[in-house]
């Protein structure tokens, strides 16, 4: 286990923060926004190839990708909203909430990923075809 230390050599406390994800692909605005609770470092892996199938065809397309994140303000945390939405949930993110998991994700295919239950897409007529248009 690696311990983080500040410039004075003192051990850093684990980070707990509410973050506002403004847009996961700011260039195309194809992924969406959500408010998440983070309890440590988060590494977001850009989805390529088969991992993009459950996203909009515009999401993470091209050569340049931007992720815009900022600390949520108190009024944003207290605002009435759908608490189950996390547009950037990924299988490996165990410290970013809300987080969806499943005991089986069929063949590791993104169309069967647990995150699809909380990504905010409500279209139910396009199983396996991308969902977002």
Residue 129 predicted with pLDDT over 70: no
pTM of the predicted model over 0.75: no
For 56-93, letters b (16+ CB in 10 Å) and e give beebbeeeeeeeebeebeeeeeeeeeeeebbbbbbbeb
d(CA 91, CA 117): 12
Confidence at residue 1, expressed as pLDDT on a 0 to 100 scale: 34
Q: Which two tokens stand for residue 65?
A: 């990708």
User: Could you give the 3-state DSSP secondary structure of residue 35?
Assistant: strand
Confidence at residue 72, expressed as pLDDT on a 0 to 100 scale: 84
Q: Which two tokens stand for residue 48?
A: 């390529």
- Residue 54's Cβ-count burial label (10 Å; 0-12, 13-18, 19+) is buried
Looking at the DSSP bridge assignments, the partners of residue 17 are 38
Measure CA of the first residue to CA of the last residue in the chain; give whole Å: 43
Confidence at residue 133, expressed as pLDDT on a 0 to 100 scale: 44
pLDDT digits (tens, 9 = 90+) for 5-43: 555 666 555 445 565 555 555 555 667 778 888 888 888
Confidence at residue 2, expressed as pLDDT on a 0 to 100 scale: 39
d(CA 17, CA 64): 27
pLDDT digits (tens, 9 = 90+) for 52-96: 767 777 777 777 777 777 888 888 888 888 888 887 887 788 888
Confidence at residue 105, expressed as pLDDT on a 0 to 100 scale: 62
């Amino acid at each position: 286990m690696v311990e983080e230390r500040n410039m004075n050599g003192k051990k850093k406390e684990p980070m707990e923060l509410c973050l506002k994800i403004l847009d996961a692909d700011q260039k195309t605005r194809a992924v969406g926004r959500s408010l998440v609770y983070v309890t440590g470092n988060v590494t977001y892996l850009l989805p390529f190839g088969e991992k993009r199938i459950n996203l909009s065809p515009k999401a993470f397309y091209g050569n340049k990708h931007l992720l815009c994140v900022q600390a949520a303000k108190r009024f944003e945390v207290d605002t009435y909203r759908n608490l189950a939405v996390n547009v950037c949930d990924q299988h490996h993110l165990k410290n970013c909430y809300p987080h969806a998991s499943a005991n089986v994700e069929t063949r590791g295919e993104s169309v069967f990923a647990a995150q699809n239950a909380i990504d905010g897409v409500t279209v139910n007529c396009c199983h396996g075809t991308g969902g977002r248009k």
